[in-house]
C-alpha cells in the first residue's frame, strides 16, 4: 500500500500532506524529560504518541531512514533543588549526578514498559554546553541578544514575527515559565539564554562568566547539532507551545538566519486524572512507576500494554481523562486479542490508513480489534493482526509463567471454587474476570469420578 501521510501542524493550524526534506533521512525531535523526579502519567503521553509516529515513519520510509532525537534535560534549577534536598551531605555535582542518573534510569525503564522503542539518539543537555554557547554568541553578533545584570537575554522585539507558533501578540505575552520579569530586561517577554552561577550551583565557563544555560537554548542546541538547522518534525506536549517552543524557534531562526526551525510542529493534548487536573495538591499526582508497580491507582498494578492502549484510545490532540474506568476498558479489550509473534507480514491497510490520517489511533485501535476477532476465528490471519498490532506497539505476547506465578494462579482458582461452593457468585466472578484480564482463561468441568466441579486454566496471551 502506498501511504500518504497527513499531519496537523500547530504552526499553520492545518492538516497537510507530510513531505520530508530528505526521504532518506526523516528527522524528528521531541522534548524529553527533565530528570529531577519520576515521570508522571502526563509525561507518558508524548513518549507513547511520538513512539507511534516513529514506528509509522519507519514503516513508510524504512527503519534506517528515520532519525528520532529525544533529549534529556539534566541541568535545571529543579534538579539543583532536588539534589540539595535528597543528598545534603554530598558535594553539589555528585548530588546532582545521583539525582539525574537515578531518575533517567527509571524513566528508561518506565517508557520501555509502555512499549516505547529507544529513540535513535538521546542527547543530554550537559554534553552540549559548548553548542549552546556558540548559538548565544551568534545571537549576540546578529543583534538578537544582549548582556544585562550578568545574564544574556534574547531580545524578543528584535524578531519581527516572534510569536507565530502560539499566535500571541508580543505585547500580550508574559515572560513565561522559569523566566523572571526583572528591571534589567529591555522587554517583559525577553528570556534568559545564559545566567551566572553561584558557588553552590553547577556552572560552565563562558565569555560571560561561569554560568549555566537557560531552559530554551538547550533544545535549540541539541536539535541543531543532531538534526540540522532545519528539520522535519518537532513534537511535545501542548503546554510547551509557549514559552518553550516559541522561544526555541526564535533562538534557532535568529541564530541561523532560517525561515523555520522545523517544518511541522506537533503537540499532544493535556492529561487529566479522574476528571481533574493532575497535581500533588489535588492528591491525584500519578507516576508511571506507581501505575506499574504499586496499588495506588485503582488498588492494583497495571500492565504496561494496558497503560499504552488506554492512551491510544483517545486522539493525541484531544485532552484525555486518565481513569480506572479507562484502564479497565483497555484491559478488557486487550484480553480478547490473540497472542502472536511479530512477523514480516504487512499491516492491514485499514490500520495504516487510520494512522496516516494524523495518527488517528482511535480508528486504528477499532480496526485492530476487528482484525483480532478475525484472527481468533481464523488462525491464518494471525500474521496480519500481529503486524498491525506491532505498528501500534500493542502486540500481545505469550505470557511466560514460572512456578511461583503458577502457584499463585492455582491458589486463586481454588479460592474461586470455594466461593462457588458457598454460592458467593459475585466474588467468584470477580476472580474469574481479574484472571481473564491478566490473560488467564478458566475452564469449568466435572470430575468424571466424583462429579465435583473442577477448574483448569490456560494462558490466553
Q: What is the pLDDT of residue 170?
A: 64
What is the Cα–Cα distance from 217 to 214, expressed in whole angstroms? Answer: 6
283: its cell numbers: 492528591
Alpha helices (H) along 16-123:
41-61, 77-86, 92-113
More confident residue, 397 or 190: 190
Q: What 3 state SS string does 215-273 have?
A: HHHHHHHHHHHHHCCCEEEEEEEHHHHHHHHHHHHHHHHHHHCCCCCEEEEEEECCEEE
CB 1 within 8 A of CB 346: yes
DSSP-based three-state secondary structure for 427: helix
Q: What is the pLDDT of residue 194?
A: 98
The per-residue pLDDT for range 210-237, each reduced to its tens digit, is: 999 999 999 999 999 999 999 999 999 9
Cell of 297: 491507582
Q: What does the pLDDT average to over 179-200? A: 85
Give the least confident one: 105-114, 120-129, 294-303, 436-445.
436-445
450: pLDDT strictly greater than 60: yes
pLDDT for 396: 75
Report d(CA 106, CA 117) in Å as an integer. Answer: 15
**Which pLDDT band, with edges at 50, 70 and 90, does 400 fall under?**
low
Q: Where does residue 425 rank: exposed (0-12), middle (13-18), buried (19+ CB within 10 A)?
A: exposed
pLDDT at 284: 82
C-alpha triplet 374, 377, 379: angle, nearest 5° = 90
Cβ-proximal residues to 24 (8 Å cutoff; 6+ apart), any chain: 61, 65
pLDDT band at 446 (very low <50, low <70, confident <90, very high): confident
Answer yes or no: is pLDDT of 369 > 60.
Answer: yes
Q: Going by C-beta distance under 8 Å and a sequence separation of 6 or more, which residues neighbour residue 106?
A: 38, 39, 289
Task: Give the Cα separation of 221 and 101 in Å (integer).
Answer: 22
Is pLDDT at 175 greater than 50 in this prediction?
no
Confirm if 394 and 312 have CB atoms less than 8 A apart: yes
State the pLDDT at residue 399: 61
pLDDT at 325: 96
Report the side by side order of strands in the sheet with 191-196: 145-148, 151-154, 191-196, 211-213
More confident site: 87 or 404: 87
User: pLDDT at residue 460 above 80?
Assistant: no
Task: Name the percent of the chain lying above pLDDT 70.
Answer: 95
pLDDT at 445: 83
Mean pLDDT of the chain: 91
Helix (H), strand (E) at residue 329? helix 324-335
pLDDT of residue 178: 43
Confirm if 7 and 264 have CB atoms less than 8 A apart. Answer: yes
Contacts 24+ apart (CB under 8 A), 346-349: 346/1, 346/384, 346/387, 347/59, 347/384, 347/387, 347/388, 347/390, 347/391, 348/384, 348/385, 348/387, 348/388, 349/1
Q: What pTM value is reported for the model?
A: 0.86
Higher pLDDT, 374 or 434: 374
Whether residue 81 has pLDDT greater than 50: yes
In the chain, the percentage of residues whose pLDDT exceeds 90 is 72
**Looking at the chain, how many residues does it have?**
461
Q: pLDDT band at 278, cuts 50/70/90? A: confident
What does residue 446 show for φ and ψ, rounded to 5 degrees?
A: -125, 140
CB 228 within 8 A of CB 18: no
Rounded mean pLDDT, 102-112: 95
**Which pLDDT score, from 0 to 100, does residue 156 have?**
97
C-alpha cell at 424: 458467593
> Higher model confidence: residue 62 or residue 97?
62
Q: Rounded to an integer, what distance in angstroms lies between the CA atom of residue 71 and that of residue 119? A: 10
Confidence of residue 176 (pLDDT cuts 50, 70, 90): very low
**Taking residues 79-92, what's their average pLDDT?**
88
State the pLDDT at residue 216. 97
Q: Is the pLDDT of residue 336 over 80?
A: yes
The sign one gets for the Cα dihedral 207, 213, 214, 219 is positive
Least confident piece of the model among 269-278, 305-314, 321-330, 350-359 = 269-278
pLDDT in tens, 297-307: 999 999 999 99
Amino acid at each position: 500500500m502506498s501511504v500518504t501521510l497527513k499531519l496537523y501542524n500547530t504552526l499553520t493550524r492545518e492538516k497537510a500532506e507530510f513531505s520530508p526534506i530528505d526521504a532518506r533521512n526523516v528527522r524528528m525531535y521531541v522534548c524529553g524529560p527533565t530528570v529531577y523526579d519520576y515521570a508522571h502519567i502526563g509525561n507518558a503521553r508524548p513518549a507513547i504518541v511520538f513512539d507511534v509516529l516513529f514506528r509509522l515513519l519507519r514503516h513508510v520510509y524504512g527503519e534506517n531512514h528515520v532519525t528520532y532525537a529525544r533529549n534529556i534535560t539534566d541541568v535545571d534549577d529543579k534538579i539543583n533543588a532536588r539534589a540539595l534536598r535528597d543528598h545534603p551531605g554530598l558535594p553539589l555535582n555528585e548530588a546532582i549526578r545521583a539525582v539525574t542518573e537515578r531518575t533517567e534510569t527509571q524513566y528508561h525503564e518506565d517508557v520501555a514498559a509502555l512499549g516505547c522503542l529507544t529513540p535513535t539518539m538521546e542527547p543530554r543537555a550537559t554534553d552540549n554546553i559548548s553548542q549552546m554557547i556558540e548559538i548565544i554568541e551568534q545571537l549576540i553578533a546578529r543583534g538578537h541578544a544582549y548582556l544585562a545584570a550578568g545574564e544574556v537575554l534574547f531580545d524578543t522585539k528584535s524578531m519581527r514575527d516572534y510569536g507565530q507558533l502560539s499566535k500571541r501578540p508580543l505585547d500580550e505575552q508574559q515572560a513565561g515559565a522559569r523566566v523572571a520579569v526583572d528591571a534589567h530586561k529591555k522587554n517583559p517577554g525577553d528570556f534568559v539564554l545564559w545566567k551566572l552561577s553561584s558557588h553552590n550551583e553547577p556552572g560552565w565557563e563562558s565569555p560571560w562568566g561561569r554560568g549555566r544555560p537557560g531552559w530554551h537554548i538547550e533544545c535549540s542546541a541539541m536539535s541543531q547539532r543532531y538534526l540540522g538547522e532545519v528539520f522535519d518534525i518537532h513534537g511535545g506536549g501542548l503546554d510547551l507551545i509557549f514559552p518553550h517552543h516559541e522561544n526555541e524557534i526564535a533562538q534557532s531562526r535568529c541564530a541561523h538566519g532560517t525561515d523555520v526551525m522545523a517544518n511541522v510542529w506537533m503537540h499532544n493534548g493535556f492529561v487529566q486524572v479522574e476528571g481533574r487536573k493532575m497535581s500533588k495538591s489535588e492528591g491525584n499526582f500519578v507516576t508511571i512507576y506507581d501505575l506499574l508497580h504499586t496499588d495506588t491507582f485503582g488498588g492494583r498494578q497495571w500492565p504496561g500494554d494496558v497503560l499504552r492502549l488506554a492512551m491510544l484510545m483517545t486522539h493525541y490532540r484531544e485532552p484525555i481523562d486518565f481513569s480506572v474506568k479507562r484502564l479497565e476498558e483497555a484491559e478488557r479489550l486487550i484480553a480478547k486479542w490473540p497472542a502472536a509473534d511479530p512477523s514480516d507480514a504487512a499491516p492491514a491497510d485499514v490500520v495504516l490508513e487510520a494512522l496516516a490520517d494524523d495518527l488517528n489511533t482511535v480508528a486504528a485501535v477499532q480496526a485492530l480489534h476487528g482484525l483480532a476477532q478475525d484472527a481468533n476465528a481464523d488462525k491464518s490471519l494471525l500474521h496480519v493482526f500481529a503486524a498491525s498490532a506491532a505498528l501500534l506497539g500493542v502486540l500481545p505476547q505469550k505470557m511466560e509463567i514460572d512456578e511461583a506465578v503458577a502457584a499463585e494462579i492455582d491458589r486463586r482458582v481454588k479460592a474461586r471454587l470455594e466461593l462457588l461452593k458457598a454460592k458467593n457468585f459475585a466474588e467468584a466472578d470477580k476472580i474469574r474476570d481479574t484472571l481473564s484480564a491478566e490473560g488467564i482463561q478458566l475452564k469449568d468441568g466435572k470430575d468424571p469420578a466424583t462429579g465435583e466441579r473442577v477448574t483448569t486454566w490456560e494462558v490466553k496471551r
